Amino acid sequence: MSTNQQHDDWRDCPIGELSQMVGRLNAAQRQARMKQLYGKAAACVLLVAVGVFAVGTVLSSRYGGITCPECQEHFVAFYDHQTKATAMDDALASSMTKHLENCGSCRSAFEKSYPGVLPAELSDQLAVPIFAVANFATLY
Ligand SMILES: [Zn+2]
């Protein structure tokens, strides 16, 4: 009988109170879902940013203080400088030389466009793998 008594103590809710509670619960659930969504979106943006940075770093290595695109931009001027046709700014020529010494992809691109123009010590670096293969072949 005590449970019936407790039920008798219940009062009617004021009009609209239940729908307000449902509205508040729905809003809280929506907010929680949005927080999750924003968290996932932020993680995705962060991953993409890190990926772009990593790829950008790899693709444009800064040897000699210049990136690969900067180096390749000056191929013609460096060719003219190497063939003594037109002198190049000393600092830029030094940067180009350092870049080509350290960057195999730019060095091979330059060699492809202007074969035999690079100084022997730079060209020798290109020939090393071929030489190594030749040595390997003579062993067998
Ligand atoms: Zn390069």
- Residue type present at position 33: R
Residue 40 Cα, ligand 1 centroid: separation in angstroms? 36
The residue type found at 64 is G
Give residue 128 CA to ligand 1 midpoint distance, Å. Answer: 18
Place of tokens 């990926």: 51
CA dihedral 112, 114, 115, 116 (to 10 degrees): -150
For the CA atoms of 57, 61, 65, 71, the dihedral, rounded to the nearest 10 degrees, stands at -120
Distance from Cα 28 to the centre of ligand 1, integer Å: 54
Give the pLDDT of residue 1: 47
- Give distance in angstroms: CA of 76 to centre of ligand 1: 15
- Using the mean position of ligand 1's atoms as its centre, give its distance from the Cα of residue 86 in Å: 23
Q: Which two tokens stand for residue 46?
A: 């962060």
Distance (angstroms) between ligand 1 centre and the Cα of 89 equals: 19
> From the CA of 100, how far away is ligand 1's center (Å)?
7
Distance 72 CA to ligand 1 centre (A): 7
Q: How far apart are CA 131 and CA 129, in angstroms?
A: 5
Angle at 53 between CA 67 and CA 109, to 5 degrees: 30
Q: Quote the pLDDT of residue 125.
A: 60
Q: Is the pTM of this model over 0.95?
A: no
Model pLDDT, residue 91: 95
Residue 12's SS3 state is coil
What's the confidence (pLDDT) of residue 128?
47
How far does the centroid of ligand 1 lie from the alpha carbon of residue 126, in Å?
14
Distance (Å, rounded) from C-alpha 104 to C-alpha 124? Answer: 12
Cα dist from 102 to 4, 25, 46, 68, 116, whole Å: 89, 62, 31, 11, 18
pLDDT on residue 135: 47
Instruction: Give the containing element (helix H, strand E) for 61.
Output: none
Residue 66 in 3-state DSSP?
Answer: strand
Which amino acid type is present at position 54?
A
> What is the mean pLDDT, run by run of 10 residues, along the chain of 140 residues?
63 90 97 96 95 73 91 95 92 94 93 88 59 48
